[in-house]
A and B are shown apart, each in its own frame.
Chain A
Amino acid sequence: MAMAADAPKDGFRLSMLIYDTRFRAMTIQVVVLILVLLGVAWLLNNTIVNLAAKDKDINFSFLWSRTGYDIGQALIPYTNDSNHFRAAMVGLINTLVLALFGCIFATILGVFAGVLRLSNNWIVGRLMTVYVEMFRNVPLLLWIILFYVILSELLPSTADFRASAALIADGKPPLASMSFGGTVALTNQGTNVPAPYFTHGLGSYAVGDFSINFNFLAILAVVVVSFLVNRRLVRNARAVQEETGVRPVTWWKSLAILILPIAILLAALGLAFDIPVFGKFNFAGGISIAHAFTAMLIALSLYTGAFIAEVVRAGIIAISRGQSEAAFALGLRPGRTMSLIILPQALRVIIPPLISQYLNLTKNTSLGIAVSYLDLRGTLGGITLNQTGRELECMLLMMAIYLTISLIISSVMNAFNNSVRLKER
C-alpha cells in the first residue's frame, strides 16, 4: 500500500524560500516590499536634495495669500484680493459645473444617437453613424479648439449690434441682432443670456467666507418634496394595478405635483429676468457666458455623446432577440416592448461603461487649458502654480482633488449599478 509521502522534514534550506510554494509568496512579497521602499526612499531623497538645492520647502501656506488675478467665470464671490484657496475653489466649481452639464447633455445626445443608429430608418441611421464615427476618431482637442475658433471668429462683434447714426439715417437695422426673441446676444466676446433674479427673495445669510442662499434652499426643498410625493403617487398606482389589473390614470396628477408647487414658489418669490441690453459700447445686464465655457460644453457633449451612443447601442444589441419576440408574443406594442422589456435589461449592460464615460468627461474638462477656461487646472494648476512657483504642492493638491472627484463619481455610480443589477443568488 502506497503511503502519501509527508513533506520532507530535513530542515530548512535557503533555496526553499524560492522553490517551495509555502514560502515563495512570502519571499516575493518581501523582496517587492524592499524594492518599493527603496524606490520611494530614493525618490524622497532626490526630492529633498532638489528642494534644498533650490532653497524651497513643502509648505501649503501660499494658499492663504492674495492671488491678484481675476477669474472671468466665478460662481462664488471672488475678487483678485481673495486668496489662492478660494481661487482653487472657484476653479473646482467651474470644473464641476462643466462636468455636470457635459454629462447631462452627453447622455441625452448619446441615448438619442444610439437608439436612432439602430432605427430602421436608413437615412437617420447613416447620419448617426457618420456623427459617431466622426467624433470618436478625431481628437477631442480638435473639437474644442475648432468650436472655440468658430464661436469667436464667426459671430458678430459687439460693435455690429450698435445702431449707428449712419444706419439710422438710412433706415437700416444694425448689422447684427439678438437671437431668441431679443433675449440672447451672441457676440464674438461671449454669449449674453438673461439672468434670473427674485424681486422679493428671501435673502441670504453669511457664514464666514460662504453665504447660504435661502431662495436656493427653498427651491431645493420644494423640488425634493414634490418628487417624494410623486413617487408615493406612482407607488399607489402600481399597488392598485397589482390588485385590480387596471392602472389608474396618473399622468396629469404627476405633472401637477411636479410643476405647480415650484411654479407657485417662483411666482411668490417674484422671479424675473434681467435681459441683456445693448448700451453704448457693450451689453449690460444678464449673464455673460464666455466662449471658453460654451466651446468646452459643446465639444465635450458631442464627443462623449458619440461614445455614449456606442455604449447604448451595444447595450441594446446585447439583449437577445428572444426577449423582444416574447414581448410581441405577449401582445406588447413596440413602444412598450422598448420601455418595459428591452431598456431595463439594456440598462444593466449600459451602466458600467457609462460610468467610465462620465469619468472620462470629467477628466477631459482639464483640456480647458486649450481655450483658457479657468477650471481647477487653470487656477490651482495654472496661474497659482506659475505665480507662487510651488509646483510640487499645486500638482499634488490638484491630483488629489481630481482623484477624489473620480473616486466619488465611480462610487456613486457603482452604488447605482448595484441597485439595478440583476439580483443573483
Chain B
Amino acid sequence: MTAMQETFVRSEMLGPSAPPISERGAVKWARSNLFSSPLNTILTLLGITALFLLLQGLLPWLLNGVWNANSLAECRAIVAANAGEGATGACWAMIRERWHQFLFGFYPSAEYWRPVLAFALLFAALAPVLYAGIRRNILMMLGAVTVCLLAALIGLGTTAPHLIQATVLMAVLIAVAVWQPKKLILFTLLYPAIAFFLLWGGSVWSPVVAMLGFGVLALVYRFLVGRLGVVVATGLGFVAACLWWMFAQTPLAAEINAVLPLGLTPIDSDQFGGFLLAFVIGVTAISASLPIGILLALGRQSDMFLIKTLSVGFIEFIRGVPLITMLFTASLLLQYFLPPNTNFDLILRVIILVTLFASAYIAEVIRGGLAALPRGQYEAADGLGLDYWQAQRLIIMPQALKIAIPGIVSSFIGLFKDTTLVAFVGLLDPLKGVTQVVRADINWKGIYWEPYIFVGLIFFIICFGMSRYSMYLERKLKTDHR
C-alpha cells in the first residue's frame, strides 16, 4: 500500500512554455502590424518601396554634403572629387557662410547681441505668466534662459562689456525671482518697451517717456476713482494718457535726451530680416491680438445688438479676405487712411494689419471655448452675484481660455508661418527675401534645395515644438475625469 501512496505529485508549477514562434517577438509584430491582410501586405510593400526610393535619392546627397567651400562650383568639384563623377551632394557651405543672414537679415553683425538678448528676455518675460508665481519653475526657466543666452552671446563673439551687462541683467531678474517672484510680472509689462529699445535702438528716453504715459493713466485713475467711479476714471485716464503721448512724448524725450544722452545705435527697419523679422512680427501680433480677440469674442456673444453686429462684421470681413490683401493694405492703402504726411515704419504698419488679421481668428477660437462652457457656469457666476467683468475674469475666461489653448497655439503657428508673406511688401523674410538675396549671389547661383531645406527645417522645429508643447499643456491642464 505504501508503494501505492507514492503517486507522483508535482511540488512546483511548470513554467509556461514559450508561445509558438509566429506568436511572439518580431514575427508576431510584423504579422499583426505589417502583413495582417492582403491589402495590408500590398500597402506595406508600397510603403517600403517609397521609403527605399526616397532614401536612395536622399542618403548619398546628404552623406556627400560639403561644409567647407566658397561657392557652389567649388562644392560640386569637391563632391565630384570625393564621391566620383556624377555623384550628388548637398552644399551646406552656403549655410555656413550665410546663416547669419537667414537669422538676422542685414542687422549689423556687431549688434547681434541685441536681438539675442531681446529673444532671451522674451522667455524671461513669459516665465511669470506661464508659472504664475511658482518660484521654483520661474527660477528653472530663468536659469535655462541665462545659460542659453550666455552660450549664444559667446558663440556670436560678443564683446566683454555687453556680456557683463547681459549677465548682470539676468542676475537682477533671478534675484527678483528669488525674493519677490510676484513682482516679476512688472518686468513682463515693461518687456515691450525693453524689446523695442533693444531691437531698434536710439535714445532710451523715448520708450521710457512712452511708458510714463501708462503712469499718467494710473495717476489720473487713482486721483479720480473715488469721486467719479471706475468707468469714468478709466476713460479720463485713457484720454490723459493719449494727450501725453500726442503732445508731451516727443518734446519731453528730446529734452531729456539733450540733457542726458543715453542709448544704443539706432537700427533702421530696412536692416531687419530673416527669422528676426518673423519673430518680431509673429510675437508682437499674437500678443496684441489675444486681448483684442477676447474682446471681439465677447462682443460677438453680447446681447447688445450694435456691439454684436460690429464684432461679427469685423470678424467675418477679416476672415473672408486673404492675408496678402491685408499686407497690401498696409503697404499701399494705409497712406490714404491716415492723416496727410504721417509716414511711419513699414514693419509697424505690417504688424498693425497682421494683428487685426490674427485677432479675428483668435476671436473665433475663443468663441469656440466660450461656447463649449456649460450654461451652468454662467448661471453659477450670476448666482454668486458677480458682475459681468468679475464673472468673465474669475469664472468664464480661465475655463474658456483653457479649452481654447490648442486653437490659440495653432493660430499662432499659422500666423508664424504666414509671416513669410511679408516678402511681398518688400520686407526681408527668411524664406523668399533672404533666399532670393542668397540665390542672387554669383557664388551661390543655382542653389535651391539647401536654402529651402534649412529655412524649412527651422520653421518645422519651431512649429512642431509649439504644437507638441500645446498638447502637453492641454494634458496638464485637463481637470475633468474621463
Contacts and interface: CB of A to CB of B under 8 A. Distances in A.
Contacts of B231: 18
B47 A146 contact: no
B325 interface: yes
Interface string A19-52: 1000001001100110010000001001101110
A137 B470 CA distance: 14
B44 interface: yes
Interface in B294-345: 303-307, 310, 316-317, 319-325, 328-329, 332-333, 335-340
B336 A392 contact: yes
A384 B136 CA distance: 60
Contact of A391 (B32, B316, B319, B332): B332
Interface residues of A, number: 57
A54 to B, nearest CB: 9
B424 to A, nearest CB: 6
B459 A137 contact: yes
B325 A120 contact: no
Nearest to A396: B333
Given A32-B306, A49-B340, A395-B332, A137 B33 contact: no
Contacts of B392: none
A274 B32 CA distance: 51
A25 B304 contact: yes
A395 B328 contact: yes
A57 interface: no
A235 B36 CA distance: 37
A50 B304 contact: no
A140 interface: yes
A222 interface: no
**Interface of chain A, main secondary structure:** helix
B262 interface: no
Contacts of A25: 303-304
B397 to A, nearest CB: 20
A46 B303 contact: no
Q: Which of A29, A33, A116 is packed against the most chain B CB atoms within 10 Å?
A: A29
B47 A364 contact: no
Contacts of B304: 25, 28-29
B189 to A, nearest CB: 26
B156 interface: no
Interface string B333-363: 1011111100000000000000000000000
A102 interface: no
Contacts of A403: 317, 320-321
Nearest to A363: B322
Interface string B434-460: 010000000000101000100110011
B229 interface: yes
Nearest to B465: A137
B471 interface: no
A142 interface: yes
A392 B333 CA distance: 7
Given A32-B310, A121-B44, A145 B332 contact: no
Interface stretch (A122-130, A185-193, A213-221): A122-130
A212 interface: no
A142 B459 contact: yes
B417 A145 contact: no
Contact of B322 (A32, A120, A122, A402): A402
Interface of A: 15, 18-19, 25, 28-29, 32-33, 36, 43, 46-47, 49-51, 53, 116, 119-124, 127, 133-134, 136-142, 145-146, 149-150, 153, 359, 363-364, 366-367, 369-370, 377, 381, 385, 391-392, 395, 398-399, 402-403, 406-407
Given A121-B36, A145-B431, A369-B424, 14 more contacts: A18-B229, A25-B303, A32-B307, A50-B340, A124-B46, A139-B431, A140-B417, A363-B322, A377-B322, A381-B328, A391-B336, A395-B332, A399-B321, A403-B317
